[in-house]
Amino acid sequence: MLPKPLNAHRIAFFGGVYSNYLALEALLEDARERGIERLYCLGDLGAFGPLPDRACDILRETGIPVVQGNYDNSVGNGLADCQCGYTDPRDNYFAKVSYDYTFRRTSSENKTWLRNLPAELRFRLGPFRILLCHGSPRKMNEFLWETTTSDAFLNWLFKRYHTDIIVGTHTGLHWHRETSPGKHFINCGAIGRPPNDGQRTVVYTVINADYAINSDPVAQQSARTDPHRRIARRAPPKGSTKTSAYHDNLPCRLQIDFVRLTYDHDRLATEMASEGLPDEFIETIRTGWWTTCNEILPAKERRRGIY
């Protein structure tokens, strides 16, 4: 069965909420201002931040489709740990602290909701088949890092899972790669904590699709045969980082933007302290640098931070 077509031009993705309900509220307002037609959440609603029920309640009230992350699966099924996929004892120590807090503070009603979330979502945006997952299509908690994930592996995923665009999260670090025209892997980033770059903003992803070429057969043929029309570069919108070009040789022009989102990080840090969460977590919110979960990072990603 073909994925259901989505009648929209501007859609957005976010993941790694990590109980940061303040960033989630800011995202909803920012998306309204940008004219986003559909929002999708790629999971991990709890962890790291305070008061996990608040993020769950916002998502349930808005009806935003949510993909189940490893945290959601663990909390919903009452597992012993977060299935985060860490291997270092220090990473696992802080993961355990975070998980135990989230599990205690999540209501039974929300646990049931988390347990029943889907592992993936599929739809079509114009000619593109899109698959949404948490880590990767083959494993919920698989880390796909920008510097260690090959084009060959991504192409295998596109073929194996019959899709053109894969959107995931899990690592907390946003990136995008087009392995060939029309084949995109996107890590949409995380809104729960900064991407380890010294900025206190968080990141979500916007896709703009332009179907204008679809209705003009002459333009379609010209785009296929004229090499000078194959790529038309455009300036990114304010507050965004453009990571792809328009491909006019495809029947739909696609632009992918990473949006830096400002929220009340001081209030979040204060609430984290009042809930007794680790100082290491609070420092990350206040400074924009990761103090935990660094051991899992590949060498190049880790060198971008200060710890």
What's the start-to-end Cα distance of the chain, in Å?
A: 48
For the segment 161-185, the average pLDDT, to the nearest whole number, is 96
For the segment 106-123, the average pLDDT, to the nearest whole number, is 98
* Sign of the C-alpha dihedral computed for residues 21, 22, 23 and 24 taken in this order: positive
pLDDT score recorded for residue 133: 98
pLDDT score recorded for residue 90: 94
DSSP bridge partners of 231? 247
Q: Which two tokens stand for residue 13?
A: 């993705």
For the segment 118-147, the average pLDDT, to the nearest whole number, is 96
Per-residue pLDDT for 34 more than 80?
yes
For the segment 66-94, the average pLDDT, to the nearest whole number, is 96
Identify the band that residue 233 occupies on the pLDDT scale cut at 50, 70 and 90. very low
pLDDT score recorded for residue 234: 37
Angle at alpha carbon of residue 140, lines to 99 and 120, rounded to 5°: 115
CATH of domain 10-303: 3.60.21.10
Q: Which two tokens stand for residue 217?
A: 């057969």
Per-residue pLDDT for 38 more than 90?
yes
Share of the chain above pLDDT 90, in %: 81
Q: Encode pLDDT of 257-270 as tens digits.
A: 999 999 999 999 99
Query: What mean pLDDT value characterizes the chain?
Result: 89
For every residue of 224-247, DSSP letters joined together read: HH-GGGSEE--PPPTTEEE---EE
* All structural domains of the chain with their residue ranges: 10-303
Q: Encode pLDDT of 83-114 as tens digits.
A: 999 999 999 999 999 999 999 999 999 999 99
pLDDT score recorded for residue 2: 59
Q: Encode pLDDT of 1-32 as tens digits.
A: 557 778 778 999 999 999 999 999 999 999 99
Dist. CA 119–CA 140, nearest whole Å: 8
pLDDT score recorded for residue 210: 84
pLDDT score recorded for residue 239: 53
pLDDT score recorded for residue 126: 87
Q: Are 302 and 143 in contact (CB under 8 A)?
A: no
Share of the chain above pLDDT 70, in %: 86
* Sign of the C-alpha dihedral computed for residues 45, 51, 257 and 241 taken in this order: negative
pLDDT score recorded for residue 258: 98
Identify the band that residue 253 occupies on the pLDDT scale cut at 50, 70 and 90. confident
Q: Encode pLDDT of 205-232 as tens digits.
A: 999 988 754 444 444 444 333 332 223 3
Identify the band that residue 276 occupies on the pLDDT scale cut at 50, 70 and 90. very high
DSSP bridge partners of 175? 187
Let me know if 146 is exposed, middle or buried by CB neighbors in 10 A (0-12, 13-18, 19+).
Answer: middle
